[in-house]
Amino acid sequence: MSAPGPLSLNTVTVRDRWSLAQCIEGCARHGIPGISPWRDKLAELGVAQAARQIRDAGLFVSGLCRGGMFPAADAAGRRAAIEDNLRAIEEAQAIGAACLVVLGGGLPPGSKDLPGARAMFRDGLAAILPAARAAGVTLALEPLHPMTCADRSVLSTLGQALDLAEEFGEGVGIALDVYHVWWDPDLARQMQRARGRIAAFHACDWLMPTTDLVFDRGMMGDGVIDIPAIRAMAEAAGYAGPCEVEILSRRWWAEDPDTVLETIKARHATAC
Amino acid sequence: MSAPGPLSLNTVTVRDRWSLAQCIEGCARHGIPGISPWRDKLAELGVAQAARQIRDAGLFVSGLCRGGMFPAADAAGRRAAIEDNLRAIEEAQAIGAACLVVLGGGLPPGSKDLPGARAMFRDGLAAILPAARAAGVTLALEPLHPMTCADRSVLSTLGQALDLAEEFGEGVGIALDVYHVWWDPDLARQMQRARGRIAAFHACDWLMPTTDLVFDRGMMGDGVIDIPAIRAMAEAAGYAGPCEVEILSRRWWAEDPDTVLETIKARHATAC
C-alpha cells in the first residue's frame, strides 16, 4: 500500500489570482506543508524576501520551476539560456529547494532537427552541472508529454531522461509528473531503472476529453490516470518524498484559490 | 537519398466534401495512383461496387481504415469488436487492400486500467489473426500519438507495436505514421527493429502550435516533422512502398478537395 506523501503546492496551480506571498500564506493557512514556486512569482517578491517568508511559514520547498530550455537558434541564445540557468541554481539554493526542475525546451524556431535540439539540451545540462553540484542543487530532469515536443520539451520520455541521469550521475535526478508519463508502455520497466533518481513527484490528471495541449490538465481524480499505481512504482523505486500538485488549467485558474486548495487537499487524500 | 514512394490518398483527408466515388474519380483525374478508404465511406458505396470502381480506375489500395479498437467495458463489447474486425478483414480482402490498419482503441468508459486495456487489445488481435491469415490480409498495427491514449489508442509507441508484431509473427505488420512517431527518442533504434514489418507509411505534419488533439494535423511541409529523415529510416528498414497522405484537419476539410489534392501532390514532391 502506497502513501501519497506530504502535499506541496506548485504555485502555477493558482497563478492567475495569487502572488507568491499569497501562496505562502495560503499554504500555511490550509495546512499544506510544501510549496514549489515558479521563477516569475519568485522574482516579483524577491528571492531573499521569498526565502524568509517561506521559512517563517514553516514550509518546505519541493522544487523551483524551472530551468533547462537550452535549445536555441544560435550560440548567443544558447549562452543566454545557460546563464539564466546559473541564476536559477542560485535561486533554488537561496530558497532551499529540493531541486531545480529542468525542462527540455522545444525546437529552435524554424528547425526540424530534433536530434540536434536534443544534443543542445544535453550540452546545456553539462554546462550547468558543475555549478549545480557546487551549490548542492539537484537538477531534476522532467520529461514532458510528447505532445509538447515541438514547442516545449524535446525531453519526452522517462527512459530518455534516465539515460541522461545515468550518464551524468551525481547531481542529476528526475522530476516525475504522472501527467507526462502515464501513457508510456515502458513505464514499469523505466520506473525500476529510476531507483534512487526520483527527485520530485508531480500530480494532476488527464481529462477525457482534453481540449488544449497545455492548459487543460485536470484535478486528481477527475481523469483517467491511476495515480496511486504510479506512486506505488515510485515508492518501490525508493521515493518517499512529497506529492507536488501542479495543475495548468484555465478552468482551475478561474476558481477561487481557497476552493482550489481545499479541493487539492481532499483529492490528495482520496485520489493520490 | 530516399524517394517518397508512390502517392496514395487516405480518404479521410477530404472526408467532409467527397464521397468514396468522388475520391476514386479525383485520384484518377489528379494522377494519384493509390487510395486508402475508411470503412464508413466504403459502406456508403458498397464494397463490391467500390472494389469495381477502384479497379476500373487503375488505383492500388494502400490500406483499409480501420480495424482494432478492441478494449470495451464488457465481454459483449469485446465480442462485438472482434466480429466487426472479421467483417473489416473481408472488406480489405474484397478491395485488394495492402493491409487493414489496426488501431488500439482507448480506455473502456470509466476505466483507469491501462495495462488491462492493452491486454484486451492483444487478446482481440489474437482472436482475429487466424481469419486475417486465411484471407491474406496483413494486420498493420498503427501506434497513435500518446496524446490519444485515453480515448483512441492504448497502442502508443512503435516499440510497443513491434513487441506485438514480433510475438504474433506472420500476418502482423506496422502502419507507420510520421505524425505519431516523430517525437520518439527511441525512433532510430525501433526503426531498425521494424525491418520487414512496415506495411504502410503515412504522412502529414505536426503544426506549431497545434490547437486540437485530433483534428489539427498539418499538410506535409507546414510543420516541424523531418519527413524525409523518417522515410529514409523506413527505406533503410526495407520499406519501398507508397506514401499515404492522411490529414485529419478542420482547416483542410473546409478546402475545395481539388485544391487539397493539388497541394498534396506538390508537397509529396518537395516535403516527403
Closest to A68 (Cα-Cα) out of A14, A11, A148: A148
pLDDT at B2 over 70: no
3-state secondary structure of B136: coil
Domain CATH for A223: 3.20.20.150
The tens digit of pLDDT for each residue in A192-205 reads 999 999 999 999 99
What phi and psi, each to the nearest 5 degrees, are found at residue A223? -125, -155
B227 Cα to chain A: minimum distance (Å)? 9
Residues β-bridged to residue B174: B141, B198
The tens digit of pLDDT for each residue in A163-178 reads 999 999 999 999 999 9
Q: How many CB atoms lie within 10 A of CB A87?
A: 13
Q: Is A38 on the interface with B (CB under 8 A)?
A: no
Q: Cβ contacts (< 8 Å) between B190 and chain A: which residues?
A: none
Number of Cβ pairs closer than 8 Å across A and B?
Answer: 87
In a domain, B216, yes or no: yes
In a domain, A1, yes or no: no
Whole-angstrom Cα distance, residue B122 to residue A265?
A: 38
B146 Cα to chain A: minimum distance (Å)? 6
C-alpha cell at position A244: 507536488
pLDDT for A166: 98
pLDDT for B42: 97
Do residue A114 and residue B213 have CB atoms under 8 angstroms apart? no
Nearest chain B residue (CA) to A225:
B112
The tens digit of pLDDT for each residue in A120-175 reads 999 999 999 999 999 999 999 999 999 999 999 999 999 999 999 999 999 999 99
Which secondary-structure segment (H or E) carries A30?
helix A20-30
Q: Is B222 on the interface with A (CB under 8 A)?
A: no
In a domain, B59, yes or no: yes
Q: Is B210 on the interface with A (CB under 8 A)?
A: yes
pLDDT band at B217 (very low <50, low <70, confident <90, very high): very high
Q: Is B111 on the interface with A (CB under 8 A)?
A: yes
pLDDT for A1: 52
Do residue B159 and residue A209 have CB atoms under 8 angstroms apart? no
Nearest to A213 among B149, B157, B213 (CB): B213
Q: Is B145 on the interface with A (CB under 8 A)?
A: yes
pLDDT band at A57 (very low <50, low <70, confident <90, very high): very high
C-alpha cell at position A94: 537561496
Closest to B230 (Cα-Cα) out of B177, B166, B193: B177
pLDDT for A3: 76
In a domain, A2, yes or no: no
Q: Is A131 on the interface with B (CB under 8 A)?
A: no
By the 8 A CB rule, do B141 and B172 touch? yes
In a domain, A153, yes or no: yes
In a domain, B2, yes or no: no
Q: Is B180 on the interface with A (CB under 8 A)?
A: no
By the 8 A CB rule, do A41 and A11 touch? yes
Percentage of residues in chain B having pLDDT higher than 90: 98
Cα radius of gyration rounded to whole Å, chain B:
17
Name the residue range of residue A48's domain. 7-271
Do residue A183 and residue B159 have CB atoms under 8 angstroms apart? no
Q: How many CB atoms lie within 10 A of CB B58?
A: 9
Q: Is A185 on the interface with B (CB under 8 A)?
A: yes
By the 8 A CB rule, do B156 and B143 touch? yes
pLDDT for A72: 98
In a domain, B99, yes or no: yes
Which burial class, exposed, middle or buried, applies to A260 when counting CB atoms under 10 A from its CB (0-12, 13-18, 19+)? Answer: buried
Q: Is A78 on the interface with B (CB under 8 A)?
A: no
What phi and psi, each to the nearest 5 degrees, are found at residue B233? -65, -40
Q: Cβ contacts (< 8 Å) between A147 and chain B: which residues?
A: 145-147, 210, 213
The tens digit of pLDDT for each residue in B36-48 reads 999 999 999 999 9
By the 8 A CB rule, do B178 and B203 touch? yes
Q: Report the sign of the C-alpha dihedral through residues B191, A197, A64, A59, in that order.
A: positive
By the 8 A CB rule, do A10 and A65 touch? yes
| pLDDT, mean of residues B248-272 | 98
In a domain, B1, yes or no: no
Q: Which residue has the cell 488549467?
A: A249
Best mutation target, B148, B149, B193, B216, to test chain A (most A CBs within 10 A): B149
Omega of the bond leading into A209 within 30 degrees of 0 (cis): yes
The tens digit of pLDDT for each residue in A73-82 reads 999 999 999 9
Q: Is B215 on the interface with A (CB under 8 A)?
A: no
Do residue B183 and residue A146 have CB atoms under 8 angstroms apart? yes
pLDDT at B1 over 70: no
In degrees, rounded to 5, the angle at the alpha carbon of residue B42 between the alpha carbons of residues B37 and B48 is 115
By the 8 A CB rule, do B176 and B233 touch? no
C-alpha cell at position B175: 502502419
Percentage of residues in chain A having pLDDT higher than 70: 99
Does the ipTM exceed 0.90?
yes
Do residue B146 and residue A206 have CB atoms under 8 angstroms apart? no
Q: Cβ contacts (< 8 Å) between A109 and chain B: which residues?
A: none
pLDDT for B166: 98
Count how many domains chain A has: 1
The tens digit of pLDDT for each residue in A16-36 reads 999 999 999 999 999 999 999
pLDDT for B4: 83
Average pLDDT, chain A: 97
Do residue B157 and residue A112 have CB atoms under 8 angstroms apart? no
Closest to B27 (Cα-Cα) out of B61, B78, B75: B61
